[in-house]
Structure 1
């Protein structure tokens, strides 16, 4: 291997690592706030890429039907909760309207723009509007009533949600794979490296989102409330911070990050209905490097996973996935020996 090949592999690894970093940050965020090891994080990636592909093809994506169905179930849950706790009818109606507003508006826009030849950026923004609400809806329907359950129970629920989303992805998108057009076709040469415009967009978007998350958690009241919930859920409740609201917000942000990752990675590889699992799992490996708690370490771990995958595919392409996922074993062993074992309360 000479320097030029190593440079190309390093660039490819850092590009993939930038996407894995976003997924790792989302995984750490969700676990820190809700204690949920969110295995279906990668499904948001697939939903984002495939929704954009169908919009580009002039079709109304199945995401719209799925979103409306989940919103209807959540609205029905609001009604049942209102009747059970004898809430005022006006308050129940407001909760139902709040639940249905965004999904209905986004779905109506999707029906209006489908097949009208709108530019790629419009379809990309609409994709984010369609996929992002899935986070809050899935949390409400699958996790909110189990918020105080053990991590193991929440993990089992995550496995069930993963299989459900994969099956629904097959139903709504089909078995065919899609590869989206690049957002920027320009290419730049620097010695042996050829840098595409899409690669630059991936780096810029990843850095911008990471900085935005840092500013959000450090400078805003909502961000500080999320951090307080992550540190001490009981204490946050005593201070008037809603753990349910924090969970919904964390899942919404995770869905947005996943959908954005799907838009970024869609032009670089063919995405199938089940492609999100492996992509999300690599983000999870990076999050485990950080102990599911530290954002900077999650970023470093994601870049390491990207580089390991890139160089592993060069030396042993048939075993690149084995190499990546085996790297988690020494990390788990080190953390097991370093950290004391405590029972969960």
Structure 2
């Protein structure tokens, strides 16, 4: 290996690590706020990439139907819960209609705009608008009724949600993969290093989103509420912070980050209905490096995962996935020896 090859592998590892960093940050966010190990994170990656691919072909993506179905199920569940609680009919209907208005409006917009062959940037925004509301809707259906359950129960639920979304992805998009056009066709040469425009877009978009997340948690009221919920759920409740609202917001952010990650990587690789699982799992490995608790640690772990994957593909391409996932074992062993006894709160 000479310097030019090492530079190429370094750049490839950094671009992959930037995507894994976004997924790792969202994994840490969801876990600290809700105690859910969010395995379906990768499905939002696939949904984002394949929804954009369908819009590129002028087709109405199946995720619109899925969003409508989720909205209908949540509305029925809220009506049933309100009726059992003895809530008055008029306020109950008003609350349910208000909650369903945004997903229904976005679904109608997507259904109308899909065949129009909009510019790429508008299609990206429409993709994010379709996929992002799925996060809080999934939280309401799958996780909110079990919010106080143990981490193990929530993990089992996440596994079930993952398999359900993977099967629905096959129904919506079929078994064939798709690759979207690059956002920027230019390329740059810096000595022995060749950098495509899409790589620049990935790095800049990931960096910008990380900065925005930092500003959100440091400067905004909602961000501080999420931080408070992550530190002490009971204390946050006593201070008037709704753990339910915090859970929905955290899954909305996870869905947005997953969809954006899928949109960013879709011009660089072919995405299939089940491709998101491996991508999301690498983000989870990076989050485990940080103990599912530290945002800077998760970002650093993601860069390490990206570099390990890139250099492993050069030295042992057939075993690169094995090397990446095996790297989690010494981290878990070290954390187990460092903190052998931990109580669930």
* TM-score normalized by the length of structure 2: 0.99
Q: Which position in structure 1 is the counterpart of 2:222?
A: 222
Q: Which position in structure 2 is the counterpart of 1:169?
A: 169
Q: Which position in structure 1 is the counterpart of 2:113?
A: 113
Q: Is residue 74–residue 99 contact of structure 1 (8 Å, CA) maintained in 2? A: no
Q: Which position in structure 2 is the counterpart of 1:64?
A: 64
Q: CA deviation at 1:339?
A: 1.3
Superposed CA offset, 1:27-74 (max 9, x none):
000000000000010000000000000010010000000110000000
Q: Is residue 55–residue 117 contact of structure 2 (8 Å, CA) maintained in 1? A: no
Q: CA deviation at 1:94?
A: 2.5
Superposed CA offset, 1:103-140 (max 9, x none):
11111111211221211111100000000001000000
Q: Which position in structure 2 is the counterpart of 1:241?
A: 241
Q: Counterpart of 2:82 in 1: which secondary structure?
A: helix
Q: Counterpart of 2:195 in 1: which secondary structure?
A: strand
Q: Is 2:185 the partner of 1:185?
A: yes
Q: Is residue 30–residue 251 contact of structure 1 (8 Å, CA) maintained in 2? A: yes
Q: Is residue 78–residue 95 contact of structure 1 (8 Å, CA) maintained in 2? A: no
Structure 1 distance, partners of 2:339, 2:177, is 43
Q: CA deviation at 1:200?
A: 0.9
Superposed CA offset, 1:154-193 (max 9, x none):
0000000000000000001000000000111111111111
Counterparts of residues 127-276 of structure 1 (less than 5 Å):
127-276=127-276
Q: How many pairs are equivalent?
A: 345
Superposed CA offset, 1:308-329 (max 9, x none):
0000000000000000000000
Structure 1 distance, partners of 2:57, 2:71, is 26
Structure 1 distance, partners of 2:127, 2:174, is 18
Q: Is residue 58–residue 114 contact of structure 1 (8 Å, CA) maintained in 2? A: yes
Q: Which position in structure 1 is the counterpart of 2:93?
A: 93
Q: Which position in structure 2 is the counterpart of 1:8?
A: 8
Structure 2 distance, partners of 1:117, 1:144, is 38
Q: Counterpart of 1:154 in 2: which secondary structure?
A: helix
Q: Which position in structure 2 is the counterpart of 1:78?
A: 78
Q: CA deviation at 1:342?
A: 2.3
Q: Counterpart of 1:114 in 2: which secondary structure?
A: helix
Q: CA deviation at 1:76?
A: 0.6
Q: Counterpart of 1:115 in 2: which secondary structure?
A: helix
Q: Which position in structure 2 is the counterpart of 1:296?
A: 296
Q: Is residue 67–residue 130 contact of structure 1 (8 Å, CA) maintained in 2? A: yes
Structure 2 distance, partners of 1:309, 1:214, is 27
Superposed CA offset, 1:267-300 (max 9, x none):
0000000000000000000000000000000000
With 296-305 and 105-114 compared, the bigger mean Cα shift is at 105-114
Structure 1 distance, partners of 2:305, 2:189, is 26
Q: Which position in structure 1 is the counterpart of 2:52?
A: 52
Q: CA deviation at 1:343?
A: 2.9
Superposed CA offset, 1:237-284 (max 9, x none):
000000000000000000000000000010000000000000000000
Q: CA deviation at 1:92?
A: 1.2
Q: Counterpart of 1:188 in 2: which secondary structure?
A: strand
- C-alpha RMSD over aligned residues: 0.8
With 196-205 and 98-107 compared, the bigger mean Cα shift is at 98-107
Q: Counterpart of 2:135 in 1: which secondary structure?
A: helix
Structure 1 distance, partners of 2:190, 2:94, is 57
Structure 1 distance, partners of 2:194, 2:86, is 64
Which stretches in structure 2 are left out of the alignment for 5+ residues? none
Structure 2 distance, partners of 1:224, 1:330, is 34
Structure 2 distance, partners of 1:216, 1:88, is 37
